[in-house]
Amino acid sequence: LFAGEVDFLKGVVAMDGLPPDDRTEVCFAGRSNVGKSSLINALTGRKALARASNTPGRTQEINFFTLGEERYLVDLPGYGFANAPVAVVEKWQRLLKQYLSGRASLRRAFVLIDSRHGVKAVDEEIMTLLDRSAVTFQAVLTKSDKIRDKEREKVLDQVREKLSKHPAAYPELVLTSSEKGDGIATLRAIIAGLD
Ligand code: GTP
Ligand code: MG
């Protein structure tokens, strides 16, 4: 499913620009710089499909990618700190929240958490919004190559504890590294298994 069947469709800046909601859709949400765009590249095996960079606030539109004939992968702007003017950031944040709470075809939101930092207050805000909108979300820890085994258990415990308070949370966590490839096959299988 992920080999050679992926394409950029469009970048969306307002709700009325969304493509028809007739496909199985999954999105990647998370704080700025957590690794959303890099994860899409790792999943699709395409190095520069989604633009990634070290500057928080890189992705400024809702970017739709087609995966085969029946699915969309959606790269979202980050929340939290971004290296962009306040008015601009507020505009994307509004759009992001509208999208996360009003998209009928959204089958699962992957909420990315930096494995060095764990769940922050802004992540919990998004999780609460997803609870209210009844969008199932799954936590994906990113940058696992940056932590040691000892710290890993502590972070996983913190994330599990936070998720236990959210009715829309899917209990299984995925630990990933876009750099080293850890967890990528697992996440591909999860996406392929959604219908
Ligand atoms: P915004 O679009 O700004 O919200 O950021 P993003 O969440 O899309 O993050 P992006 O994929 O652009 O990655 C941010 C930075 O983290 C880049 O410098 C990436 O190279 C780095 N990065 C992403 N994933 C990994 C990973 O698994 N391991 C390591 N070591 N670095 C990573
Ligand atoms: Mg991005």
**Predicted confidence (pLDDT) at residue 127 exceeds the cutoff of 90:** yes
Distance, CA 32 to ligand 1 centroid (Å)? 9
Pocket test for ligand 1, best of 39, 53, 76 (most atoms within 8 A of CB): 53
Rounded distance from Cα 115 to ligand 1 centre (Å): 12
Q: How far apart are CA 114 and CA 121, in angstroms?
A: 13
Structure tokens at 13: 């800046």
Ligand 2 centre and the CA of 57: distance in Å?
A: 7
Q: Name the band, by pLDDT with cuts 50, 70 and 90, for residue 118.
A: very high
Asked if residue 140 belongs to a domain, the reply is yes
Q: Ligand 1, closest atom to CA 34?
A: 7
- Protein residue with least CA distance to atom 13, ligand 1: 35
For the purposes of burial, counting CB atoms within 10 Å of the CB of 78, is it exposed (0-12), middle (13-18) or buried (19 or more)? buried
Name the least confident of 5-14, 47-56, 71-80, 109-118. 47-56
Which-ligand-closest: CA of 29?
1
Q: How many independent structural domains does the chain possess?
A: 1
Q: The domain spanning residue 174 has which CATH number? A: 3.40.50.300
Residue list, ligand 1 pocket, CB within 6 Å: 30, 32-38, 52-54, 56-59, 77-78, 142-143, 145-146, 177-179
Residue 55: what pLDDT?
87
Do 95 and 15 touch, CB atoms closer than 8 A? yes
* pLDDT of 3 strictly over 90: no
Q: Is residue 144 part of a domain?
A: yes
Question: By residue range, what is the domain housing residue 179?
Answer: 6-193
- Nearest ligand (C-alpha, residue 35): 1
Distance CA 63, CA 42 (A): 16
pLDDT at residue 20, rounded to an integer: 96
Beta-strand runs (E) in the chain: 6-12, 24-30, 62-67, 71-75, 106-114, 137-142, 169-175
Tell me the average pLDDT of the chain: 94
Polymer length in residues for the chain: 195
Phi, psi of 144 (to 5 degrees): -60, -20
Q: Does pLDDT of 56 surpass 80?
A: yes
ipTM of the complex: 0.99
pTM: 0.97
Q: Is residue 1 in a domain?
A: no
